Structure 1
Amino acid sequence: MRTPIDRLAVLLMIVGALNWLMVGLFGLDLVASIFGGAEALGSRIIYSLVGIAGIYSISLLFREAPVNE
């Protein structure tokens, strides 16, 4: 069973992936645009949360899936 933290981590990774997609395709860093630049505190917090979520999500790869009978 997935916990709320698992779901939050996946959600943050999706946000990060979509942001990188925007950077790659259009040269637009949406997080930086919203929070006032890549060096702004808000942007750095979001980038850090996405990075922590990515590290945490490594554990999702090694968890056993529950067996439903």
Structure 2
Amino acid sequence: MRNNALSYTALTLAIIGAVNWGLVGFFNFNLVSFIFGSMTWITRIVYALVGICGLYLLTFYGRSEAETEK
């Protein structure tokens, strides 16, 4: 992991998104909408950041595979 701060931030936001989806799936409770309101601009920013972090974390597959080949 070359950029630890970016990686840990992305991982933290992805975990927050995963917990939120778990709450939606199990209890029909959206924590992000509860905290920031239903589809306000800040809620959309949180969702966008979680999505971007998820896409960034896809690169871990390539990096972990390259590290095991060394």
By the TM > 0.5 criterion, same fold?
yes
Q: How many residues align?
A: 65
- For structure 1, the 5+ residue unaligned runs are none
- For structure 2, the 5+ residue unaligned runs are none
What is aligned with 2:17? 16
- Scaled by the length of structure 1, the TM-score of the pair is 0.86
In the TM superposition, structure 1's runs of 4+ consecutive aligned residues that sit over 4 Å from their partners are: none
The CA deviation string for residues 18-65 of structure 1, in whole angstroms up to 9 with x for no partner, is 00000001100000010011x111110000000000001111111133
What is aligned with 1:57? 57
Compute the RMSD of aligned alpha carbons.
Answer: 1.4
Aligned equivalents of 1:9 and 1:50: distance in 2? 8
Aligned equivalents of 1:49 and 1:60: distance in 2? 17
- Scaled by the length of structure 2, the TM-score of the pair is 0.85
- Residue identity over aligned pairs, in percent, reads 42
* Structure number with higher helix proportion: 2
